[in-house]
Amino acid sequence: MNPLGVSFCGVRLRNPTVLASGVLGITAAQLKRAEDGGAGAVTTKSIGPEERAGNRNPTCVALQHGMLNAMGLPSPGYEAMEAEWRQLKKMKVPVFASIYGASVDDFRRVAAYVAERKPALIELNISCPNTAEHGQVFGFEPSVAADVVEAAKDICGKVPLSVKLTPNTYKIAAVARACEEAGADAICAINTVAGMAINIEARKPVLSFKKGGYSGPAIKPIAVRCVYDIYETVDIPVLGVGGITTGRDAIEMMQAGATAVGIGSAVYYRGPNVFKHVCDEMRDWMRCNGFSSVKSLVGAAHD
Ligand SMILES: Cc1cc2nc3c(=O)[nH]c(=O)nc-3n(C[C@H](O)[C@H](O)[C@H](O)COP(=O)(O)O)c2cc1C
């Protein structure tokens, strides 16, 4: 038996580590670096309704305890993805397709196109803080999030539907419950935490978009808390994301309630083989602590 094997919404993963959306891009060539680096599944950068350049540089800066980015959802638009899908289909590990939109209708349109290409799972990004008009607004309010899920669920057919939530609301567990009631098959938590950095000599924000999303080690306690609360509120599986850099981090996130873990910024800190490193560290920890299957860790920190 493979001690790290898990099933996420019926999708079999060789291990619970998943490349988080946006960190390695949208093409099969980029995502393959995570597959080769040991990821159990890979998530595409969020695919949008039309071509979008994203924000002006600088869009990303490494800070002392994490990364701040405001990429602004650069995307070729879903219709320009046709050749890429043929390549994505050849990948050995499951591909999760992340999508975004500025309206419920956008989400429906992109979901309809993507669902026909049969990815292993569709992830609705209703939580991106880095554009003036896209996404985040859907993730703040339970009823608004539910509208997007209901609209997309209809057309996803048999492809499982996950919803990526923002921590920038005090209602994350209520939003998760509303998504579950609207038909979501899984929750992904969390997207980046709203943040900002200022260059004090220039007396200007560091990022051209001024504000951005904070990720990496500093946000792990925020993500663990969100996943813990969501696990207590819903019955669908949770993909825990935020600050996971080591095997110990992954185990902590699973004990909070995650069935699988997303890894984003740590690809920057430890390189694309981070997935192998995290899995090796998980195996070592499990051996030392008497766990024969990673599945028994899920939710272990709950009473
Ligand atoms: C440069 C960068 C780009 C990102 N782009 C996306 C994106 O397109 N869609 C999305 O849902 N999340 C995006 N994210 C958020 C990550 O998927 C992840 O939720 C967040 O970074 C927290 O995980 P981490 O601490 O492991 O990086 C991005 C993060 C970074 C750092």
Mean pLDDT of 281-291: 97
- pLDDT higher than 60, residue 134: no
In tens, the pLDDT along 53-90 reads 888 999 999 999 999 999 888 888 888 888 899 999 99
User: Of ligand 1's atoms, which has the minimum distance to the CA of residue 191?
Assistant: 19
Of residues 255, 246, 247, the one with CA closest to residue 228: 255
Long-range contacts of 7-11 (CB under 8 A, 24+ apart): 8/41, 8/121, 8/186, 8/237, 8/239, 8/259, 8/260, 9/121, 9/160, 9/162, 9/185, 9/186, 9/236, 9/237, 10/160, 11/41, 11/94, 11/120, 11/121, 11/160
Question: Across-strand partners of 263?
Answer: 19
CB 206 within 8 A of CB 68: yes
Q: Considering only 32-41, 47-56, 161-170, 204-213, which range has the smallest mean pLDDT?
A: 47-56
* Averaged pLDDT, 184-193: 98
The position carrying tokens 């999708």 is 11
Q: Work out which ligand 1 atom sits closest to the CA atom of 265.
A: 27
Q: How far is the CA of 263 from the centre of ligand 1 (A)?
A: 9
- 166 pLDDT more than 70: yes
Instruction: Tell me if 261 CB under 6 Å of ligand 1.
Output: no
Kindly state the average pLDDT of the residues 195-201.
97
The mean pLDDT value for 124-149 works out to 81
**CA gap 35, 130 in Å, rounded:** 27
128 is known as an active-site residue: yes
CA of 22 to the centre of ligand 1 (A): 5
- Whole-model pTM over 0.75: yes
Query: Rounded CA gap, 25 and 272, in Å?
Result: 13
- Does ligand 1 come within 6 angstroms of the Cβ of 75? no
How far is Cα 253 from Cα 139, in angstroms, rounded to an integer?
A: 22
Q: Is 131 in the pocket of ligand 1 (CB under 6 A)?
A: no
What pLDDT, on the 0 to 100 scale, is given for residue 127?
87
* 200: preceding bond cis by omega (within 30 degrees): no
pLDDT at 132: 58
Ligand 1: atom nearest CA of 262 is 26
β-pairing, 238-241 with 60-62? Answer: unpaired
pLDDT band at 133 (very low <50, low <70, confident <90, very high): low
Q: Of 9, 60, 128, 156, which is the active-site residue?
A: 128
